[in-house]
Structures are given as structure tokens and as C-alpha cells.
Structure 1
């Protein structure tokens, strides 16, 4: 089994929406702490945690710099055990990865973080690479991202 800390390069295999840019990052030896603020809204912090790592995919829509409050960003964040060799999770089982979807925009009532309860994650982790395919849906807000595919290699 590969150590996640050895994986360095990321490759986005899913299609990034044409009107923006996408990034994929593996944050080694981190864990997601899902919290609730005083208004009841979810948010997350990353904490140091040997033994787990966080995969973070971000889509940022291109915006006119003249527009104030025109920004739009979506992200999917989930946690994996560094020693896992294979995952095949559906719907509520995605909670094992603390998977959350973030939508950040000036769109009152339709922004924030949401627990992903519907979807499918397939992940393979070998000495050479960590590969994953994620299809997901959130029901609380509109979303641009519905599929993310990526690979991390040495």
C-alpha cells in the first residue's frame, strides 16, 4: 500500500466547466472537522491528523472584475484513510468520508456547506497512484459540479 504522503502530482480527469478554472489538491495528514456556527450553518476546518488525508476539488467561475459580488465558487471536500486500498461508497455511506459540498456566491439562502448524502465514490489506492471517481448531488442548493474524477501520482 502506498503512503499518501508520497503522492505529489494531481491530474483532473473530469471536465471543468468552460466558464471557470478547477483545482485538485491532496492535503496529507489532515482531517475534516465539520462544525456548526451560531446560526446553524455548517462550516469546516482542517486539522492535523496523521493517518488521514483530505481531497479538495474547487471550481471557480470566471467573473467580470467590474462586477462586485459576482464571484461563484463550488468545492467538494472529503477525507480518506491513508491506508485504504479501495473504496466503493454510495449515498449515506459517503458519511464515512465526511464529504461536504460548498457553494460560495452572492446568492442569498443558496450558499454555504452541505453534507453530501446522494452519490457514489469509487477510489483505488496503489503504490503508483490514488484514483477516484465521484458522482454526487445535493438537494439543498443548485450545483454546477456533479462529477469529479482525479488522480494523484508520484
Structure 2
């Protein structure tokens, strides 16, 4: 009986626990995303060794400042295709988050979202409805998938301005510039 118990203890001690993310980027990673509205292009970037700050201009409109730092910036961009023969039809939505330098699994909801400076930006010729806004209502989750892949799930709602992107669900390789 003692031998069986000893074998069971050795088996449990030798098994690897569930692996979590613990990855530090040395170079930026960028990729076109798979889940994007049909009328545009989307991309996802992880930018290491930067810091993210939001300031307001003289009209009270927030804008991002990215500087050298000790964090990793997540940037998701949606660029709608310009409308033919229409001037000023450019339209872009951007989601920013400031992650720790070492990327780890994370799961945040509503009030916790500002711990990673999760912001939504709407850039267009839309008088009074452009700028960057803190995301206060939603969910943010990153988990490891496979050896070097990261699943990023963001679902959010902004009350200040209309939005096209409200859900981001992407898998990105931390070793190369590919999404799955």
C-alpha cells in the first residue's frame, strides 16, 4: 500500500501544472485580423517597451501619447474602406490597452478595465463624435493557446459615441506576425 501511495505522489509531483502565459516581447508583433467587418481592414499590434498616456486638447478631446517605457501596448485598428467619390469618408476605430511588459493571462470586467488603460478611439469627420474614450463597460480576457499563441477577447460598449467594433476575438502568434 505504501508503494502505491509513493507512486501516486511521484506521478502528481512530476506532472506539469497548467501552463500560463509568461512571455516578454522584444520586438513588435503585428498581424491582419481574421474577424473584421467586410467593409474594411483590421489589424492587431503588440508593441513592447512603450507606455501609454491619454491627454486632452483645448476642446476636451482625448488623444493618446505613446512613449518609451516598460509596458507592452496592445493596439487594435479597424479602417473602413473609403466611400467612392465622397471626400472626408475616412473612418477608423482604435482600441488601446497598456499591458505589463511580461504578458500574462488576464481577465478583467467593467471597473477593472482602466487598470490597463483600455480606451476606444473613433477617428472620422464626425463633428462632436470623435476622440478617445475610456472603456468602462465590458470584458477583457487574454489566455494562452498552444505554445506561443495568445487569444485576445474584448467585448465592450461605449455610450459617448456610435461604434462599429464592439467585440474583438483574435488569436495571435507571439513568435511571428500571424493570426489564427
Structure 1 runs, 4 residues or longer, greater than 6 Å off: none
Q: Which runs of 5+ in 2 are unaligned?
A: 1-21, 176-180
CA contact (8 A) 1:84 1:125 kept: no
1:53 maps onto 2:72 in alignment: yes
Shift in Å, 1:84: 4.2
- d(CA) in 1 for partners of 2:99 and 2:38? 29
- Aligned-pair distance for 1:130? 2.8
Task: Please report the TM-score for the alignment, with normalisation by the length of structure 1.
Answer: 0.89
Q: Retained in 2: the 8 A contact 1:23–1:59?
A: yes
User: In structure 1, which of residues 6, 31, 38 is the aligned counterpart of residue 51 of structure 2?
Assistant: 31
Question: What's the TM-score once normalised by structure 2's chain length?
Answer: 0.77
Superposed displacement of residue 7, structure 1 = 6.9
Larger helix fraction of residues: 2
2:150 paired with 1:130: yes
1:1-154 alignment runs, 5 A limit:
1-5=22-26, 8=29, 10=31, 12-13=33-34, 15-50=35-70, 52-124=71-143, 128-153=148-173, 154=175
Q: Secondary structure at the match of 2:129?
A: coil
Count how many residue pairs are aligned between Structure 1 and Structure 2: 152
Shift of 1:38: 1.8
8 Å CA contact 2:23–2:102 kept in 1: the answer is yes
Are the aligned partners of 1:123 and 1:130 in contact in 2 as well (CA < 8 Å)? yes
C-alpha deviation, 1:60, in angstroms = 0.7
Structure 1 counterpart SS, 2:113: helix
Unaligned runs of 5+ in 1: none
The 1-side partners of 2:154 and 2:54 are apart by 20
Q: Which has the higher contact order (CA 8 A, sep 6+)?
A: 1
* SS, match of residue 87 in structure 2: coil
Contact 1:120–1:135 (CA<8 Å) still a contact in 2? yes
